[in-house]
């Protein structure tokens, strides 16, 4: 499964990090290629974004199901393609390094299914680590902007 994990340290306390990542409205717009999202309920939302690679540019709509909220350290989610055959999961994890220092780790795994799956997964193998890094950095930068 194409996967990516990225960590970054920020000079913000873990409670402020949790305040930010526990609200999908705050970090959904930071997803690379973001177009829109809709909150269905506390555990579920739909996200629409543009996937742009050298070979494929598609508008993707994903259902995001939060499977675990573990205050103040962990948000785990599952992903399901609504208009394309994708499935995956990911998480944000916060590790307290001090009173005003937190390590944020973002992870994303995404697998294309169907007849075109093997070809798309070869492309995703290079894209997903970059997306995980961009999203984690964007979340960290926004948290720094809001709370630092």
Each residue of 46-87: pLDDT tens digit?
A: 999 897 666 567 888 999 999 999 999 999 999 999 998 999
User: Could you tell me which residues come within 8 angstroms of residue 116 by beta carbon, excluding any fewer than 6 positions away?
Assistant: none
Q: In the structure encoding, which two tokens stand for residue 144, read together?
A: 């720094």
Please report whether residue 50 resides in a domain.
no
Q: Report pLDDT digits (tens) over 30-50.
A: 998 899 999 999 899 999 989
Please report whether residue 58 resides in a domain.
no
Please report whether residue 17 resides in a domain.
yes
Please report whether residue 32 resides in a domain.
no
State the total domains in the chain.
Answer: 1
User: Could you tell me which residues come within 8 angstroms of residue 47 by beta carbon, excluding any fewer than 6 positions away?
Assistant: 28, 31, 34, 36, 37, 61, 62, 64
Q: Domain of 121? A: 3-27+68-147
Global pTM reads 0.92
Q: Report pLDDT digits (tens) over 83-123.
A: 989 999 999 999 999 999 999 999 999 999 999 899 889 98
| Domain harbouring 81, CATH code | 3.30.530.20
Residue 13, SS3? coil
Please report whether residue 42 resides in a domain.
no
């Amino acid at each position: 499964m194409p996967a990516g994990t990225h960590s970054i340290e920020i000079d913000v306390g873990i409670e402020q990090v949790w305040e930010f990542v526990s609200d999908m409205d705050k970090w959904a717009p930071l997803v690379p290629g973001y177009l829109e999202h809709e909150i269905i309920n506390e555990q579920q939302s739909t996200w629409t974004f543009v996937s742009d690679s050298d070979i494929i540019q598609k508008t993707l709509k994903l259902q995001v199901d939060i499977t675990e909220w573990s205050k103040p350290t962990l948000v785990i989610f599952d992903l399901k393609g609504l208009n394309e055959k994708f499935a995956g999961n990911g998480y944000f994890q916060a590790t307290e390094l001090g009173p005003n220092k937190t390590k944020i780790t973002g992870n994303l795994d995404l697998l294309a299914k169907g007849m075109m799956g093997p070809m798309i997964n070869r492309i995703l193998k290079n894209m997903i680590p970059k997306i995980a890094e961009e999203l984690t950095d964007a979340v960290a930068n926004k948290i720094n902007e809001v709370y630092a």
